[in-house]
């Protein structure tokens, strides 16, 4: 690896550590969409971009955008980047790696005084995880121009509307349409794999062929709260016991379908006391698959099974779909371009699908889009143990730089 790429990788790893300090919940890394720590991370990102001579700003929908001009002002730009929001108790590489790598690639070109034919647009999306507000990917939807204005009215667990959070963040909820990007030729995202395949095969990089579609639902089970000592077992309407049965029904249905995964990741019990039968339980469901039809069928089956459990246990079930995104087949020209770039730096282009969701699946609705994956330790992600090596980071930067240099708008 060239010495410049190695020093770029060292600086990128240091920036990833620095960005991880922006958290709402120290010492854990929790940087939810449009939170104060997200705002401070966005400001830091802008400061780094400006240090490199780029113009950078927060757009109306809460993305950080920066631009490195090309030689041909009329040519559509190549957009690269990823997200800087995180899950709760996150690792430091999911999203941040790709956002900061975009900056590194441009800094590498700028340091050599190189301009490409096309401009490079850098984006640090703000809403990829969907942990704070149920509808997600509003940053990329804003660029594509398909945001539903109703998304602004959704509230977080504290009752804060996305509209107010966006305003406080520095976005402009009244001008969402102005976030729509024009003059873009293609989008590419670098991201950690978040799975074990590359490590198992001893490879640093992978090229994504397709991204799983996903459905998310909110379930609210209402039974009857009561005295834990005085209520006989056969006269209870225990919302948590009903929810527990539903969670297992979800797991059973997902296990029955190859390539379908389903998760209950959050469950809130009310009133939540040792001596009170739970009266109300709210939980989330996240179902994903590489093919849309089996996912839709499974979600319908899950809803049916949950209703049957609710009827039998005489509890009420309200089920609301909060999010659905179709699977995305990465654009063949981007897949081919990334494969060529990986081969050009002497690595073997390994194609693989993505089980995780990404802004790329929305960007691909309007522009040719694709992704480059970097190996992560043990395939662990959404976990503070997330880890990558500086060597892999250098290899990824070399491949992404090569892709950018060779990119020609079609
Ligand atoms: C984002 O990480 C997701 O796939 O949920
Ligand atoms: Mn991510
Ligand atoms: Mn994630």
Tell me: the pLDDT tens digits for 118-136? Answer: 999 999 999 999 999 999 9
| Dihedral of alpha carbons 161, 126, 375, 89, sign | negative
2, pLDDT greater than 90:
no
Pocket probe mutation, ligand 1, options 84, 128, 261, max atoms within 8 Å of Cβ? 128
pLDDT value at residue 1: 65
Give the ligand 1 atom nearest the CA of 286: 5
Q: How does residue 410 score in pLDDT terms, banded at 50, 70 and 90? A: confident
Give distance in angstroms: CA of 63 to centre of ligand 2.
15
Pocket probe mutation, ligand 1, options 356, 376, 386, max atoms within 8 Å of Cβ? 356
User: CA separation (Å) from 168 to 40, 96, 164?
Assistant: 12, 22, 6
Give the ligand 1 atom nearest the CA of 129: 1
Per-position DSSP letters for 197-246, written without gaps between them: HHHHHT-SEEEEEEE-EEEEEEEEEE---EETTTS-GGG---HHHHHHHH
Q: How does residue 28 score in pLDDT terms, banded at 50, 70 and 90? A: very high
Give distance in angstroms: CA of 357 to centre of ligand 1.
5
What does the alpha-carbon distance between residue 253 and residue 167 come to, in Å, rounded to a whole number? 41
- Average pLDDT value for residue range 376-404: 98
What does the alpha-carbon distance between residue 104 and residue 44 come to, in Å, rounded to a whole number? 14
Give the ligand 1 atom nearest the CA of 194: 2
- Average pLDDT value for residue range 159-179: 97
Output the pTM of the full model: 0.94
192, pLDDT greater than 90:
yes
Give distance in angstroms: CA of 54 to centre of ligand 2.
24
End-to-end CA distance of the chain: 30
Q: How does residue 279 score in pLDDT terms, banded at 50, 70 and 90? A: very high
Instruction: Please report which helix (H) or strand (E) contains residue 101, including its range.
Output: helix 96-111
pLDDT value at residue 230: 97
357 lines ligand 1 (CB under 6 A): yes
What does the alpha-carbon distance between residue 307 and residue 301 come to, in Å, rounded to a whole number? 10
320, pLDDT greater than 70:
yes
356 lines ligand 1 (CB under 6 A): yes
Of 408, 278, 270, nearest in space to 337 by CA: 408
Q: What one-character DSSP code corresponds to residue 331? A: P
- Average pLDDT value for residue range 166-183: 97
The region of weakest confidence among 37-41, 57-61, 111-115, 276-280 is 111-115
Q: Write down the mean pLDDT value for the chain.
A: 97
129 lines ligand 1 (CB under 6 A): yes
pLDDT value at residue 301: 98
Give the ligand 1 atom nearest the CA of 94: 2
Of 312, 313, 310, nearest in space to 302 by CA: 310
Pocket probe mutation, ligand 1, options 126, 286, 295, 358, max atoms within 8 Å of Cβ? 358
**Ligand with smallest separation from the Cα of 265:** 1
Q: How does residue 53 score in pLDDT terms, banded at 50, 70 and 90? A: very high
What does the alpha-carbon distance between residue 358 and residue 141 come to, in Å, rounded to a whole number? 12
Give the ligand 1 atom nearest the CA of 87: 2
What does the alpha-carbon distance between residue 143 and residue 269 come to, in Å, rounded to a whole number? 38
3, pLDDT greater than 80:
no
pLDDT value at residue 5: 86
376, pLDDT greater than 90:
yes
> What is the per-residue burial (b if ≥16 Cβ within 10 Å, else e) of 314-348?
ebebebeebbbbebbebbeebbebbbebbeebebe
359, 342 Cβ separation under 8 angstroms: no
Six token digits for residue 284: 């989330």
Write out the residues surrounding ion ligand 3, Cβ under 5 A. 94
């Amino acid at each position: 690896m060239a010495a410049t790429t190695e020093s770029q990788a060292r600086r990128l790893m240091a920036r990833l550590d620095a960005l991880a300090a922006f958290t709402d919940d120290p010492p854990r890394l929790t940087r939810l969409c449009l939170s104060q720590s997200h705002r401070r991370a966005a400001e830091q990102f802008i400061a780094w971009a400006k240090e490199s001579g780029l113009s950078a700003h927060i757009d109306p929908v809460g993305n950080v955008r920066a631009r490195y001009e090309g030689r041909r002002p009329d040519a559509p730009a190549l957009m690269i980047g990823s997200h800087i929001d995180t899950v709760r108790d996150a690792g430091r590489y999911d999203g941040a790696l790709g956002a900061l790598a975009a900056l590194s690639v441009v800094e590498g070109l700028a340091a050599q005084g190189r301009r490409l034919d096309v401009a490079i647009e850098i984006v640090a999306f703000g809403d990829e995880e969907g942990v704070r507000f149920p509808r997600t990917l509003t940053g990329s939807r804003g660029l594509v121009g398909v945001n539903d204005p109703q998304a602004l009215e959704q509230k977080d667990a504290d009752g804060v509307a996305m509209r107010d959070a966006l305003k406080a963040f520095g976005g402009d909820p009244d001008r969402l349409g102005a976030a729509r990007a024009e003059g873009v030729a293609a989008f590419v995202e670098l991201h950690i794999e978040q799975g074990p395949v590359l490590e198992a095969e001893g490879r640093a990089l992978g090229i994504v062929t397709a991204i799983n579609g996903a459905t998310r639902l909110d379930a609210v089970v209402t039974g009857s709260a009561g005295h834990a000592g005085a209520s006989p077992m056969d006269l209870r309407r225990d919302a948590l016991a009903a929810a527990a049965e539903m969670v297992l029904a979800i797991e059973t249905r997902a296990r029955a379908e190859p390539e379908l995964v389903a998760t209950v990741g959050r469950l809130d019990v009310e009133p939540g006391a040792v001596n009170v039968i739970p009266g109300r339980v709210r939980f989330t469901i996240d179902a994903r698959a590489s093919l849309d039809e089996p996912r839709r069928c499974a979600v319908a089956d899950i809803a049916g099974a949950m209703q049957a459990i609710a009827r039998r246990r005489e509890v009420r079930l309200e089920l609301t779909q909060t999010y659905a995104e179709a699977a995305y087949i990465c654009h063949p020209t981007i897949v081919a371009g990334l494969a060529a770039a990986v081969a050009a730096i002497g690595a073997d282009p390994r194609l693989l699908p993505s089980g995780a969701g990404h802004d790329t699946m929305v960007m691909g609705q309007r522009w040719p889009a694709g992704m480059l994956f970097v190996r992560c330790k043990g395939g662990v992600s959404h976990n503070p143990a997330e880890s990558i090596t500086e060597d892999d980071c250098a290899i990824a930067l070399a491949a992404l730089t090569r892709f950018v240099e060779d990119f020609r708008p079609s």
